[in-house]
Amino acid sequence: MSFDSKVLEFRNLFEEIMRRRPIIENRTFKDEFLIVDFKNFNKCNFINCTLMFEFGICSMSNCDFTGCKFEAKTGSPAHLILGFDKALRDAAFKDRNR
């Protein structure tokens, strides 16, 4: 199997996963631990929740977050992204407070 055909196979699998993600709309989650991968959230409220990512493949549109924690499984792609985001935010905070 060629590299191009493997990429195409992966792309087709990814698109199928994206099509099958459940859509969760107009819900309020309070004091919950949620695994958010492979879900679409639209117009949801998250209050004091822990949102766990592993792959970071999800959608959150028009959602509100109050007192939430965003976490990622150690060593996962999402963990690397959250770590990078934290480093950027920390650097920006230090620059503002010089």
In this structure, the number of other CB atoms found within 10 A of the CB of residue 49 comes to: 22
Average pLDDT rounded to a whole number, residues 47-76: 90
Q: Give phi and psi for 28, each to the nearest 5.
A: -115, 130
Give the model's pLDDT for residue 28. 98
List the structure tokens of 66.
């109050």
Percent of the chain with pLDDT over 70: 91
Residue 67 has pLDDT above 90, yes or no: yes
Where do the domains of the chain lie?
A: 22-96
- Of the pLDDT bands very low, low, confident and very high (cuts 50, 70, 90), residue 98 is low
Give the model's pLDDT for residue 9. 77
Alpha helix stretches (DSSP H) within the chain: 3-20, 77-96
Whole-angstrom Cα distance, residue 54 to residue 36? 8
